[in-house]
Structure 1
């Protein structure tokens, strides 16, 4: 409200106005919270138990390009494989994780890309993984494999497109080999406490996560 008469065009600010809430300088937040009892961590769930001890809730076949240049070829491999297997309906999905990185990256930028993709290779929801490179990228397949750590060669395959006469044909053959191994995996009883959960919260300026 105005503290004095304000002429048309006059500056309106704290010197000549005040709020009707000026006397209310205290605010208390007192929500009526409802207690939620914790769920038992030993609840039985159906899981895929991997050889390294990790557990997943899905059994998927993943295609990971080391560089964005092979996205289109990898998509052809995925589509042809799905056609030949009538959708591979006995597993939980065949996914291509395309991206625009891996070429002309240096230093930490390159290492971050490689590390992220290597972590995906080790993800327990991936029953098998085909890593596809072009051959001339910074994110070289051979260096990727050498720095990956332990992996099951029956479940993780690597191919370089420039080393193949027909890269799509070669990729589809790899996918069939991986599929025959992972399609034998079956869910089994496990404990809820064995799972790892990651939560993403948008709109907050710091990383937020909870892992179990």
Structure 2
């Protein structure tokens, strides 16, 4: 970024007030509020701002005729819905969707990431029996049906005060949801729920599990217990409310079951493990005009560092890579992997149409207030979280993420549902970028929240873990902030608590993707 300087009292340097992301772009991004009448010095002469342009929003630096493409990041973000003159605010009033299909190259561009130098980086984790390494040591109360949700919470609430005696146990989490009965287990929806529950049960951050049901639900407790892919050193007990004689009796039995686990779990200790054992989930929410400029590319740099070290990093939110999927398909390790991503995009197009919508219904009102206009613009910024590594695998929702490298999981754009899928797939740390100020937190995998701009970071500092807005402020580079994120990932994986953990978030954010027929 060129900082520039004020030229006169009423003439400012364009490069001091905006960011030009690619030389041929018709728009630049304001890094300060630009009132109508502001005069900007450009290589072509003086540009006068015609209408107010808030920070994070787009300013036209070239004329664009109605129907013409508008570019940002060197990519089309839409077509002009009216003639746009240089100096105008470019947003919903004059920019719409570009429905022209991008050409999808399949596995044509491959990147060799720089190999790590120096000693092998390690973190302090919980080595599990099958070789996986957890970053936390939790007890999970896994519910088969919503009918057992309140009972699960009662058990967790009763046990939590006792944890002061067991400092090496991170918590007791009630995994409650809105389904499990009236759903055919073999249906698509039933299968997704069971895959999600199995993913959490197999998560290396759970040392103990209590499986809790009502007794008459379609998805039975015993069927879950019999098929759980738990690690051999995971402590497992199960209860059904009807068999125990009701809620009060079940709470007593559940508390006793969890308390029996606590001394055994508390005896476990962290030990050094290579960072290649980390599984990183990548997500964003409450995005703004800075997301694709600061936090997302910085997180992409951190992701590349982990992948280069042999770890796994996985991007989600299929509806929010729509329009930018061509940037991922050309990076796929094979044509089959590229086609798998395109198949998920096509599935979402049909799914959205069947629900009476379309994938270009995005961005949200908050995204638009932050400067994002079209789903193309939002997606181009979102894929920056994936860095530059090759795309190694495409996963179904909550499918185990086992292929080393950068992967993609098919998840909705709704943040709690998306992150639930990533954690079910095995993410042991999550990084979540936000510009408007999302307050999401997750368990059992800790979530680092990365602010895209300094103003929001300062306003919501108790909810944020790192300020990536320094990139726009000119006090740090993308690479520098990316390296800070990487170091924070290692620290959090080793036990450092995140802002959301300090606030006790994460239990209510367990939200499995729910769809399908309920009878």
**Given the two structures, how large is their TM-score scaled by the length of structure 1?**
0.75
Trace 1:121-160 onto structure 2 (pairs within 5 A). 121-149=201-229, 151-152=231-232, 155-160=235-240
Does residue 52 in structure 1 map to residue 130 in structure 2? yes
How far did 1:200 drift? 2.3
String of CA shifts for 1:163-190, please: whole Å, max 9, x gaps.
1131111111110122222111100011
Tell me the distance in 2 between the aligned counterparts of 1:110 and 1:25: 44
Q: Whose strand fraction is larger, Structure 1's or Structure 2's?
A: 2
Does residue 103 in structure 1 map to residue 181 in structure 2? yes
**Given the two structures, how large is their TM-score scaled by the length of structure 2?**
0.33
Does residue 173 in structure 1 map to residue 256 in structure 2? yes
The one of the two structures with greater contact order (alpha-carbon pairs below 8 A, sep at least 6) is 1
How far did 1:149 drift? 3.9
Q: Whose helix fraction is larger, Structure 1's or Structure 2's?
A: 2
Tell me the distance in 1 between the aligned counterparts of 2:70 and 2:226: 62
CA RMSD of aligned residues (A): 3.2
Matched with 2:28 is none
> Does the C-alpha gap of structure 1 residues 87 and 80 become closer, same or farther in structure 2, counting only changes over 3 Å?
farther
* 8 Å Cα contact 2:206-2:234 kept in structure 1: no
List structure 1 segments (4+ residues) > 6 angstroms apart after TM superposition: 23-28
Bigger mean CA offset, 174-183 vs 37-46: 37-46
Aligned residues: 188
Instruction: List gaps (5 residues or longer) in structure 2.
Output: 1-61, 75-112, 286-319, 323-344, 349-382, 387-405, 408-426, 428-519
Matched with 2:272 is 189
How far did 1:42 drift? 2.3
> Does the C-alpha gap of structure 1 residues 135 and 191 become closer, same or farther in structure 2, counting only changes over 3 Å?
same
Bigger mean CA offset, 142-151 vs 175-184: 142-151
How far did 1:125 drift? 0.7
Tell me the distance in 2 between the aligned counterparts of 1:43 and 1:153: 26
Matched with 1:7 is none
Tell me the distance in 2 between the aligned counterparts of 1:25 and 1:123: 46
